[in-house]
Amino acid sequence: MEAREIRTWTSKDIEGRLEDAQRELFALRRELAMGRLEDHNRVRTVKRDVARMKTILRERELAELLEEAA
């Protein structure tokens, strides 16, 4: 997913999807450790999606702080 797409979601939506992605990442890492993971690229993709969602949430948090300070 692209950051452009994530920015259209509400913060609540992002938080919910972030939680789901983190659970998926945990499961993927477990499968990787057991040697049963078929698509190794999926770990990388999910990690990047998690990072994008966290970045956008942080951007929104900082924007709110700037608005309060102004």
User: Residue 70 has what pLDDT?
Assistant: 81
Q: Domain of 35?
A: 3-69
- Global pTM reads 0.93
| Residue type (1 letter), 6 | I
Domain total of the chain: 1
Rounded-to-integer distance, Cα 2 and Cα 5, Å: 5
Q: What b/e string do you get for 15-43 counting C-beta neighbours within 10 Å, with b at 16 or more?
A: eebbeebbeebeebeebeeeeeeeeeeeb
What CATH number has the domain bearing residue 19? Answer: 1.10.287.310
Look at the block and give the residue holding tokens 């499968």.
31
Statement: residue 60 has pLDDT above 90:
yes
Mean pLDDT (the chain, rounded): 97
CA-closest candidate to residue 23, choices 5, 46, 45? 46
